[in-house]
Structure 1
Amino acid sequence: MSAFLNDLGRAAMLIIGMVWQVGWSLVLGFAISALLQTLVSKQGMQKALGRNGPKEIILATLAGAASSSCSYASAAVSRTLFKRGAALVPSLAFLFASTNLVIELGVVLLLLMGWQFMAGEWIGGVVLIGILALLVKLTYPAQLVEAARRFPEAGGHGHDHGAMAEAPGSVWQKLGRRETWVHASHSFVMDWRMLWKDIVLGFVIAGILGAFVPDGVWQFLFVKGASPWIQVPANALLGPIVAMLSFVCSIGNVPMAAILWGSGVSFGGVLAFLFADLIVLPLLDVYRRTYGWKMAAYIGGVFYATMVIAALIMDLAFNGLGWIPARNPHAAAMMAHFSINYTFVLNLLFGLVAVGALVLAKRNPMRMAPRHCCGGGRAKLPAMDEHAHHHH
């Protein structure tokens, strides 16, 4: 019993430590995302994504990188783009970019795992989109795409999580208006409301697994000690399956990825695990309800193949460049270390930013509407005009 309580204490300290290490970076990322959501017109973006050409894919990638990192929220936006006429590849490219190229995910990876994983995630995100575009082009199911676009969805839809109604003026002029900051504060609060359960779940799962599962289990599962010719492909194939069964959002995957890396999983296997938040079982069910089961199966298959191939390419490239970081078997213990340092100062500073956004949103309430993304609940729409939005 004492051993169990000791492990439980270690898990709790590990969870608290991970939240402490990355808290300020989450606030920074969501603040930047909220401003970009406020300043960038989604309507203009949708009109520009009607083809599967390079220009449209690049635009969708940039738009995704500027959006929220919640895989469930990203799926809702991607669905809106696709149903309103965006081509398939830009719609899916947006999905990959919004969960792999966002600022907050890169910063969390930098803090917990090193710059190599941050670079691997961001460069790998671009590689993912390139492979996805090629695979869809080679296998394009025209009839399936049209059927998916017309597919009658059961139940309610999430509302557009998008930009403020178009206001005249340059970006700098918009930044000088109070309503811009009010709208951004609501986007900030909404992102947190959508994401907090996924992030907490990710930290809790990682903390429990880090404390209770011996490294030997992961080493056996991911065939540590086998020839690289066996381990690297096996890890790339297995990484997405482990992620698929963990039900965790993109940022929530990072602490678990750090534990896998410290346990001896290959660089590509860890990246494959990180890439795979878009094929967790609840999201596959969302695709089924949104597009029909045939299109959901197609998306799941293409995504899995894309993730495995991209992970293998990144493993080979980073090994060739000598960019594989040293393993840290004590990563879990380091996450539970506290001191008065730059992390303390940054958490204090960005804690004030978060409080400021919450206060601004509370003092400027918007019309209430139900939210069906990331666990439901009711959230305030960041609408500058109450009548500009309706729940469809």
Structure 2
Amino acid sequence: MIDKIEHALLMAAGMFWQTGWSLVLGFGISALLQAIVPAEQMQRALGRGGIRQIALATVAGAASSSCSYASAAIMRTMFKKGAALVASLAFLFASTNLVIELGIILYLLLGWQFMVAEWIGGLVLIAVMSMLVKLTLPKSLVDEARHHEETGAGHQHEGATGKGETWRQRLTAPGTRVAVARNFTMEWRMLWKDLLAGFLIGGIISAFVPDSVWRALFFTDAPLAIQAPANAVIGPIVAMLTFVCSIGNVPLAAVLWAGGASFGGVLAFLYADLIVLPLLDAYRRYFGWRMAAYMGGVFFVTMAIAALVMEGAFTWLHLVPDRAVSIRERVTDFSLNYTFYLNLIAIGVALWLYTLSRKAPMTHEQHA
């Protein structure tokens, strides 16, 4: 038992270590957007929700944070500053499926097939989601969510000021640095409990759940015609209960793959990092219960459909990889690689922003 507990804690620490720098990056981008991008500029760029706006949001997401928690914070900022919901969600899907670092980790742990399927599947996700939203979204729900008063500590943020200024002028303005620091600190205060729970639960599952459980859960011995659709539904459900964000769930995806889950089931699990329970709760705080429920339903259907499409395509092309996967040593690798140096930089940036925020706390008038 002691060995398993030690293993669970080591896995949790390893998953946090692999994703820590991307969290700082994502929350930093969100804080900067809040501080320098005025609502009218965001409205002009992404307000209409057409193909051009969806494509622009997809590109922006692919260049953004790879952590679902941090990306959700950025998406919230975009939507509440006037971006169309479909464009905001396209950004969210792209930032958690099309980023380079996520593909690299998938390549190292699961092989190039999963890397390619994640990237192509990300585009499929955005296409399916866009069609579902355009067919089903009530306009009243958009207005309600955009003006929802957020609850919970750290939910107020400083927006851009100075009408007529360019974003470059706002970026170099004396107060921008302090505003970014305050917004960054507030994001951490809002989500740190969710993050901590996610990594601990992920470590516990990897240590205490044997492969035989996964083989039974994912219908390993069933024909592919039964296994594939069942796994496309089971994958997101497992993801919802494991709490781990996009890069952090790759090690668990490797555990599922080695344990017998189908190719599409593992992909559905990877796609579903956006509907883990802490994130659904964050959507509730950001937008209210109705929008959180709508997003959760649309996301679940989208992820299951995309996983089935990719399962069928890769099976037809004979590209489904072997199951020879070993991930524990890789996840708990604390060597002097690029992750080590990125985390050192991220820790320094986070401490600097936190210190700056403490030196200039937000007043009641600035909250308003």
**Which TM bucket (shorter chain)?**
0.7 to 0.9
For the pair 1:217 / 2:210, whether they are aligned, the reply is no
**Counterpart contact for 1:29–1:103, Cα < 8 Å:** no
- Measured in 2, the distance between the counterparts of 1:104 and 1:74 equals 14
Query: C-alpha separation between the residues in 2 aligned to 1:6 and 1:155?
Result: 37
8 Å CA contact retained: 1:7, 1:211: yes
Please name the residue that 2:360 is paired with: 367
* CA positional deviation for 1:168: 7.1
Correspondence for 1:263 among 253, 259, 266: 259
| Per-residue deviation, 1:266 | 1.2
- Residues 322 and 178 from structure 1, CA distance in 2 versus in 1: closer, same or farther, beyond 3 angstroms? farther
Structure 1 match to 2:292: 296
1:91 equivalenced with 2:88 (yes/no): yes
Q: 2:46 is paired with a residue of what secondary structure?
A: coil
1:350 aligns with 2:347: no
Q: Does 1:51 align with 2:48?
A: yes
Cα deviation code 1:135-171 (max 9, x no counterpart): 122223234334444455556773459899976769x
- Structure 2 length-normalised TM: 0.78
The residue aligned with 1:391 is 367
Q: Could you list the per-position Cα deviations for residues 283-324 of structure 1 after superposition, in whole angstroms to 9, with x for gaps in the alignment?
A: 334434544444333222111110100111122222333433
Distance in 2, matches of 1:118 and 1:92, equals 22
Answer with 259-268 or 86-95: which moved more. Answer: 86-95
Instruction: Look up the SS of the partner of 1:368 in the other structure.
Output: coil
RMSD of Structure 2 on Structure 1 (CA): 4.0
- 1:280 paired residue number: 276
Amino acid at match of 1:27: W
Task: Supply the distance in 2 between the matched residues of 1:236 and 1:39 (Cα, whole angstroms).
Answer: 35
Counterpart AA for 1:89: V
Residues 88-139 of structure 1: CA distance to partner in whole angstroms, max 9, x if unpaired?
2112222222332334433333333333323222222221111011112222
- Kindly provide the amino acid, as one letter, of the partner of residue 353 in structure 1: I
Q: How many residues align?
A: 361
**Corresponding residue of 1:374:** none
Rounded to whole Å, the distance in 2 between the matches of 1:296 and 1:39 is 23
| CA-to-aligned-CA distance 1:1-50 (integer Å, 9 cap, x gap) | xxx22333433444455566x36xx5378559857975996333343111
Counterparts of 1:153 and 1:364 in 2: how far apart (Å)? 24
Alignment of 1:14-33 (within 5 A): 14-16=11-13, 18=15, 22=18, 27=21
Aligned match for 2:126, one of 121, 125, 129: 129
Preserved CA contact (<8 Å) 2:129 2:298? yes
Cα separation, partners in 2 of 1:208 and 1:282, compared to 1, 3 Å: closer
Name the counterpart of 2:8: 11
Counterpart AA for 2:52: K
- Match for 1:391: what amino acid? H
Judged with a 3 Å threshold, the aligned counterparts in structure 2 of structure 1 residues 93 and 42 are, in CA distance, closer, same or farther, namely farther
Is residue 243–residue 274 contact of structure 1 (8 Å, CA) maintained in 2? yes
CA contact (8 A) 1:202 1:253 kept: no
Q: 1:241 aligns with which of 237, 245, 248?
A: 237
Displacement, 1:243? 1.3
Q: What SS does the corresponding residue of 2:108 show, helix, strand or coil? A: helix
Q: What secondary structure does 2:366 align onto?
A: coil
Is 1:188–1:357's contact at 8 Å kept on the other side of the alignment? no
Give the AA of the match of 1:219: R
Q: Secondary structure at the match of 1:144?
A: helix
Q: Is the 8 A contact 2:258 2:323 kept in 1?
A: yes
SS state of the match for residue 390, structure 1? helix
Letter of the structure 1 residue corresponding to residue 44 of structure 2: K
| Corresponding residue of 1:42 | 37
Please list, as runs of the form range in 1=range in 2, the aligned pairs for 1:311-330 lying within 5 A after superposition: 311-330=307-326
Aligned counterparts of 2:261 and 2:6: Cα–Cα separation in 1: 26
Q: Relative to 1, partners in 2 of residues 1:291 and 1:220: Cα closer, same or farther, differing over 3 Å?
A: same
Q: Among residues 73, 95, 100, which one is paired with 2:97 in the alignment?
A: 100
Q: TM-score, normalised by structure 1?
A: 0.74
Output the amino acid matched with 2:72.
Answer: A
* CA distance in structure 2 between the partners assigned to 1:274 and 1:164 by the alignment: 39
> Which whole-Å CA distance do the structure 2 matches of 1:202 and 1:31 have between them?
19
Q: Which residue of 2 aligns with 1:140?
A: 137
Provide the secondary structure at the position in 2 that maps to 1:158: coil
- The structure-2 alpha-carbon separation of the partners of 1:113 and 1:182, relative to structure 1 and needing over 3 Å to count, comes to farther
CA contact (8 A) 1:199 1:252 kept: no
Residue from 47, 62, 66 that aligns with 1:65: 62
Does the 8 Å contact 2:194/2:278 carry over to 1? no
Q: Structure 1 CA distance, aligned partners of 2:282 and 2:351? A: 33
CA spacing shift, 1:168–1:197, aligned 2, 3 Å: closer
